[in-house]
Structures are given as C-alpha cells and as structure tokens.
Amino acid sequence: MDYRFIPDLTEEQIADTQLEGLKWTTAHAFQGSPFYRSRMEAQGLEPGDIKTLDDLSKLPFTTADDLKNGYPMPLLSVPEADVVRIHGSSGTTGKRKILAYTQNDIDVWKEMFARCYELAGLTVEDRVQICVGYGLWTAGAGFQLGCERFGAMTLPIGPGLLEIQLQMLTDLKSTCLCSTASMALLMGEEVQKQGLADKIALKKAIFGAETHTPKMRKQFEESLGLEDSFDIVGMTELYGPGTGLECMAHEGIHYWADIYILEILDPETLKPVAPGEVGEMVVTSLKKEAAPLIRYRTHDLTRLIPGTCPCGVTMPRMDKIMGRSDDMFIFRGVNIYPGQIGSVLENFGDLSAEYQISLNRSDGLDHMAVSVECTPDSGECNNENLAKAVANEIRKHILVRSEVKILGPGELPRSFAKAKRVQDERGND
Ligand SMILES: [Zn+2]
C-alpha cells in the first residue's frame, strides 16, 4: 500500500536514520545545552564517542527531575530566539513540565501526527472532532496540527462541553472522534440516553492519554456506532500525542522509529529486558532541536512486539501503555498496577468497565475495596455472589484479597480527563 505520510523504510534504513539522528542529537545537545554537556562530561563522554547504535547505552539517562530542575526551559539547546512555541504538562506534583519547540520541531510533530490519521484510514473527506485539552497542553494543538497537515476537516471543540459536542456530532456529522477513553465512554452514554444514535455519523475514534481496557473500548465503540477505534500514544516531553498509533490490524502500535529511539528497560536495573517483555519506555529523540531528549525515562510501561505486522507498515511496534510505574501501589507486599484489576473485570459480562480501588488500614492491616458497576440491563446491583466471584478472580490473578462491591449503573464518578482509579487512605499510622 502506498502511503502519503508513512515512510516505507527497511530495518537497515531505519537503523541508518537512527544512527545519523543519534550522532546529530548528541553533538547538538553537547554544544547547545550546558545541562547535557556537563552530564556527558561527567561520564567522560564527547559526541565523537557515539559511533554505533550500541553506543547509546553509554549515554546518561535524563529524568523528570532534570526537567523540573531546569524549569522553566529545561534541556534548552538552541538560542531562545529560535523558540516559537511552549507547551506544558499538567504537573500533578509541584512545578509543571514546560517544553520548548522550534519551528522545525513543530513541523516534525505535524508530519508525525499526519501519519497517525493516515494509519487510521482517514481521508481528506473526514471530519475530525477534537475533544481534548487546548492551550498549554499538547493534546489539542497536536491533534489539530496533524489534522490540518493531513487535510481532513478539523472541528476543534476541546474537552467537556457535552452539549456542544453532541450538537457538532449531529449537525456537522463528524466522522472521527478524538478524545480520552473516558470521554468517549461518557459521550457514548449520552448519545444513547438522548436517542441520537441514528443522527450521528461517527465511524472512527482515536483515543489515548490513559490506560483503558478492551471492555471500555467495546462499550464506547458500540454506544457511538463506530466501525473501528485506534489507541494513540505520546507525551509532552516528546512533542506530544502522535508518536505512534495502533493500525487496522490491531496487533500493536506502530511508532515512528525514524523520529525517536525506543528502549524498553527493566526499571530497577535499567538494562534492556528480553525482546517482547514488559519494561519502562526510555526515549531518545533524533530530530528534536529546542529540547532534545537523551535516554529520557518515561515511567510508562509497555513492551516491543517482535516480528512484522500483517498490515504491511514496516515501522516497528510497541504494545499499548500498560500503566505507569508511578501508579503502582504496594498492597500487602504485592506490586499492583490498577490496569490489572481492569483486566480481571473484563471476564464479567454483567459489569461495566468502570472501577475504583480504595485502600485503607485498620488494626494495623491493609484492606483493599474494589467498587464496580453492573451494566444497565444486568440487574446485578448488590449481587453478593457476583461480588464474591469477582473477588475470587482478583485473588486468583493478582494474589491479594479484596472486598468487592457491585454498584448500580452510573454510580461511580465519571471524569472528562484521566479517571482516578486508586484512593489510598492508608496514612502512616
Ligand atoms: Zn500494522
């Protein structure tokens, strides 16, 4: 298949592009950024030492703390006059992360994002409703830049604003929805509630920014009448969203390996995990000018998918983001990611995809309670046998005891942005 934006590169061509980009990035960061220069000098390294792709492992890591310490313009490797744009992350603790872009950075980003729309099978006839955050956040800007570069029609709405969203869906007949999975679920529920299903023309959704379960996805695909949906990845530190997208074969996410190198490392040892195993994503940018990333630790967990994709695209694949090492909580000595609970719930047809975990401590012992919702047709609210069955499955898969409560449909709080899954009230007593 001939693509307009997605390059058709062999493994060797990708490796050559990566080596060239790695050499350029190292030299550029060494010359332009006092931070990177001192980090490399501390290791006795200079750009000339990077001769092969294996030499990447000699380079020091960059962390979120390095971004905070360099606030407000960390990692800056060009004169400030060359910066044309600033974006920032939500910054859950303390200072937010601010990242600078040159015009060339913006151009690379929009080409990369145009590839995503192409991979999702959109055409210039499509109408793309963008329901993600605008402003300082990268999401809205990225989805819009990419859409305009691709040539489809952009409907920039932003998050929330349910009435306007529904109005645009029915009046302008948007064909593609871009949002978080929670937002897509919420809109699906509203479309059903207001009986709008045959007045809208949605065919596809591109969703991302949070972990989701196949069940959540099936739920919004059905309620919105979608033909297909695609998981997108990205982070503010690395341009923003659009650094990879699931393809129509749904066997992983193609990532743009000519724009950045993805290493999957054991978060403890920081050595590569075996091919196909889960570890932390560590990224190195190959073309980024204003704020290049050298071995940046993302704390996102995923794995590389070996082999070639049946869709024919030669760009390598990663799995969906399986959670963040930061979201992990330790309960009675067991490391748990919230997504693991979500996976267990997928086995129960009478339950919705929503769940909330609360942790508390009494009599010196930790307790875990999991609240889930039954589906509107199931009538299983407060069913104790079903609750016990869920608790048994959790115990079988995650090896911990929990108390499960089955709520009625819609009783758990909904969120426009990232759903908050864990409430930890254990304190320090
Ligand atoms: Zn594919």
How remote is the CA of residue 234 from the centroid of ligand 1, in Å? 18
Q: CA 390, CA 384: separation in Å to the nearest integer?
A: 10
Which whole-number Å values give the CA distances from 228 to 89, 234, 242, 268, in the listed order?
29, 20, 18, 37
Instruction: Count Cβ neighbours within 10 Å for each residue of 236-249 and write b for 16 or more, e otherwise.
Output: bbbbbbbbbbbbee
How remote is the CA of residue 21 from the centroid of ligand 1, in Å? 24
Q: At what angle do helices 138-150 and 103-119 cross, to 10 degrees?
A: 70
Q: At what angle do helices 384-398 and 338-345 cross, to 10 degrees?
A: 130
How remote is the CA of residue 217 from the centroid of ligand 1, in Å? 19
pTM (2 d.p.) = 0.81
Residue for token digits 């600033």? 86
How remote is the CA of residue 252 from the centroid of ligand 1, in Å? 7
Res 139: pLDDT: 94
Residues 9-46: pLDDT tens digits? 999 999 999 999 999 999 999 999 999 999 999 999 99
- Which positions of the chain have pLDDT values less than 50? 429
CATH 3.40.50.12780 fits 1-326, yes or no: yes
Fold classified for 329-425: GMP Synthetase; Chain A, domain 3 (3.30.300)
Res 343: pLDDT: 77
Res 237: pLDDT: 95
In the chain, domain spans = 1-326, 329-425
How remote is the CA of residue 136 from the centroid of ligand 1, in Å? 32
State the chain's maximal CA–CA distance in angstroms.
68
How remote is the CA of residue 312 from the centroid of ligand 1, in Å? 6
By the 8 A CB rule, do 231 and 246 touch? yes
How remote is the CA of residue 314 from the centroid of ligand 1, in Å? 8
Res 211: pLDDT: 65
Which whole-number Å values give the CA distances from 355 to 62, 213, 217, 223, in the listed order?
34, 11, 14, 19
Beta bridge partners of residue 371, listed in sequence order: 356, 405
How remote is the CA of residue 410 from the centroid of ligand 1, in Å? 35
